Amino acid sequence: MLTSQFLLLGAVLFCIGVYGVIARKNAVLVLMSIELILNSVNINLLAFALRNGSADGHTFALYIVAIAAAEVGVGLAMVLLIYRNRRSIGLDELSEMRG
C-alpha cells in the first residue's frame, strides 16, 4: 500500500467537507460536513502513525474523536436553542451580531 493513497483519500474527504461547509445553509448539515473534515484528519494521522511506526497518531486520533463528540453535543444544543427561539435553523438568518 502506498502512503499517498491514504493521504489522497483524506484530501478528497476534506475537500468534500469544505464544500459542504460553504454550500449548506442548514446548521445540522454544516455540523455533518465538519464531521467529514475531522474524519479525513483522522485518516491522515493514522496513515502517518503506520508510516513512522509510532503510537502518537493513534493517541491524537482518539483525542480528535472525543473532541468531535463534545463539539456535536454542544453544537446540536445550540441549534436546538436557535430553533426554539426563531423557528428556523438557516445559518444566513443569524445576523444579530452584525456590527
Partner 1 sequence: MISAELLVAQNIGFSVIAIVMIVAALRVVTTSNVVHAALWLVVVLSGAAAQYVLLAAEFVAVTQVLVYIGAVMVLFLFGTMLTRARIGAERDLNNPYWKLGIPVAGLLFLAMAIALVSSFGDEQLPSDPRVVSVGEISDQIFGPYLLPFWGLSFVLLAAIIGAIVLARKD
CB of 99 to partner 1, least distance (A): 21
Q: Is 97 in the site for partner 1 (CB under 8 A)?
A: no
Among the listed residues 69, 95, 96, 97, the single contact to partner 1 using CB under 8 A = 69
Q: Please, what is the minimum distance in Å from the beta carbon of residue 34 to partner 1?
A: 11
Contact call for residue 2 and partner 1 (CB under 8 A): yes
Residue 94 touching partner 1 (CB under 8 A): no
Task: Please give the size of the binding site for partner 1, defined by CB under 8 A.
Answer: 70
Query: Which of 70, 85, 97, 99 contacts partner 1 by CB under 8 A?
Result: 70
24-32 long-range contacts, CB within 8 A, separation 24+: 25/90, 25/91, 25/92, 26/89, 26/90, 26/91, 27/75, 27/79, 27/82, 27/89, 27/90, 27/91, 28/76, 28/79, 28/89, 30/91, 31/71, 31/72, 31/75, 31/76, 31/79
